[in-house]
Structure 1
Amino acid sequence: MSDGQDREAARRRGPDRAGGGAGVDARMAAMRQDFLDFFDAEFHLVVRFVMRDGAGLHDAQDCAQHAFVQGWRTVQNGRWEQITQPRAWIRTVALRHHRTFDRRQVPVLQLPEAPAPGPGHAEITGQARDLVAALRLLDQDARTALAFTLDDIPTPVIAAHLDVSEQRVWDLLKKARRTLKKHLPAPPERPAALADGTDTTGYEGRQGR
């Protein structure tokens, strides 16, 4: 069994009745470690999630920090393991904090994540700005449903956290995608053939031989 599986097993077990205080201490230690691992993996993703709702970087970091403080309090109270969908829960807390204070800022220029190899910095900056601006065109429910989906939160979990049916989530996602398709620039298309019908696939590679 891996270290992660050991921690998960320890987190799911209740207090050790025979061991008394030692069992409770071990359970709390496992719960704290589970939360710290969760924090390391999810904090920057929660920041990005809130930014998709229109927050600036610093506001999004503040909202994420607020959510993780609330999470830490559940750890201290011994209730963290009762949260069955922690990834959705932490994002809901952060998003609620953002909307409670109606934080409106100019759309951000760069998401808080190192870009993957591919397009240059200028292109990524433009893509991020276009995406955040387009997301602002959506109503809150559609924007939230899409943000959850982009973070791989399952549809039934999204429905539970929005307190709507799964069909309503699908309708919101369809609406969001339709809006984004209308307002986001289409990626440039490569010509499939020359005017005389010559296939251009791999043309540059053949030319260099």
Structure 2
Amino acid sequence: MSDKEPEPEPLPQAMAVRNTFRAAFEAFVRDEYVPVQRFVIAACGASREESQEVAQETFAEACRLFMTQPSRWAAIEDHRAYIRAVARRLLIRLRDQPRRRRSTVPLDLDQPQHDTQAKEWAEDVAVAMDVRKALDTLPADQRLLLAYHRDGFTYAAIGTYLGLTEQQARDLGKKARAAMKTSLAGYRDSGRDAGDRSRS
């Protein structure tokens, strides 16, 4: 999608369409804002700051489209796939700008407010960092597939986004999961489970 501002639809038509879809659009933003942040972290290795900035820009762009060309928004077949494609594009654009310092706390782990939580928090951070390192070793297509699959997309849909057949997407998913299991084998051997963190 171009960065060029969309031409607004005629006002009466736009108002009618917006009124029809406003509640659904607002619910979509509420439901998908945080998942989009997590998606660019998992799929693209975004830092926490990058994910927050990308989410803001992504939904601002979606809002502009909805307000100026609501019929185009309504015609989008899969809004969840669309919003993730926009987020990936905007992350690339963000990274073309001068680099800024990245957060050392990965994923979505906030520092605890009470000392009693410190040990659990530190353990969660360690697991998250190991999962992040494991994801970083994957080829880009495998990492992207895992991110889509974690967000509930079917292999058929993922195959479409990646230019693969459904079976090829399934096979790619098996390779990605096998690689993650190998990278995180230490957690299985010690009785700890890092799998949930890779899907959070």
TM > 0.5 = yes
**Aligned mate of 1:112, from 103, 108, 112:** 108
The Cα RMSD (Å) is 2.7
Shift of 1:26: 4.0
Partner residue, 2:66: 75
Task: Provide closer, same or farther for how the CA distance between residues 110 and 169 of structure 1 changes in structure 2, counting only shifts above 3 A.
Answer: same
More helix by share: 2
Deviates more, 1:37-46 or 1:23-32: 23-32
Task: Provide closer, same or farther for how the CA distance between residues 154 and 113 of structure 1 changes in structure 2, counting only shifts above 3 A.
Answer: farther
- Tell me the alpha carbon deviations over residues 25-47 of structure 1, each in whole angstroms, 9 at most, x when there is no partner: 34312323322211111111110
Question: Are the counterparts in 1 of residues 47 and 103 from structure 2 also a CA contact under 8 Å?
Answer: yes
Give the residue type in structure 2 aligned to 1:30. T
The TM-score, its normalising length taken from structure 1, stands at 0.69
Shift of 1:107: 7.8
The TM-score, its normalising length taken from structure 2, stands at 0.72
Q: Secondary structure at the match of 1:45?
A: helix
| Aligned counterparts, 1:41-60, within 5 A | 41-52=31-42, 53-60=44-51
Question: Are the counterparts in 2 of residues 31 and 75 from structure 1 also a CA contact under 8 Å?
Answer: no
| Aligned counterparts, 1:141-156, within 5 A | 141-156=141-156
Give the residue type in structure 2 aligned to 1:189. G
Q: How many residues align?
A: 166
**Aligned mate of 2:55, from 55, 64, 74:** 64
| Aligned counterparts, 1:1-209, within 5 A | 21=12, 25-52=15-42, 53-76=44-67, 77-78=69-70, 79-102=72-95, 109-112=105-108, 120-184=120-184, 185-187=186-188, 188-189=190-191
For structure 2, the 5+ residue unaligned runs are 1-11, 111-118, 193-200
> Whose radius of gyration is greater, 1 or 2?
1
Partner residue, 1:204: none
Shift of 1:120: 2.3
Partner Cα separation in structure 1 for residue 163 and residue 93 of structure 2: 18
Deviates more, 1:101-110 or 1:51-60: 101-110
Question: Are the counterparts in 1 of residues 47 and 107 from structure 2 also a CA contact under 8 Å?
Answer: no
Give the residue type in structure 2 aligned to 1:50. V
Question: Are the counterparts in 2 of residues 57 and 112 from structure 1 also a CA contact under 8 Å?
Answer: yes
Q: Secondary structure at the match of 1:186?
A: helix
Deviates more, 1:134-143 or 1:62-71: 62-71
Give the residue type in structure 1 aligned to 2:191. E
Question: Are the counterparts in 2 of residues 159 and 169 from structure 1 also a CA contact under 8 Å?
Answer: yes
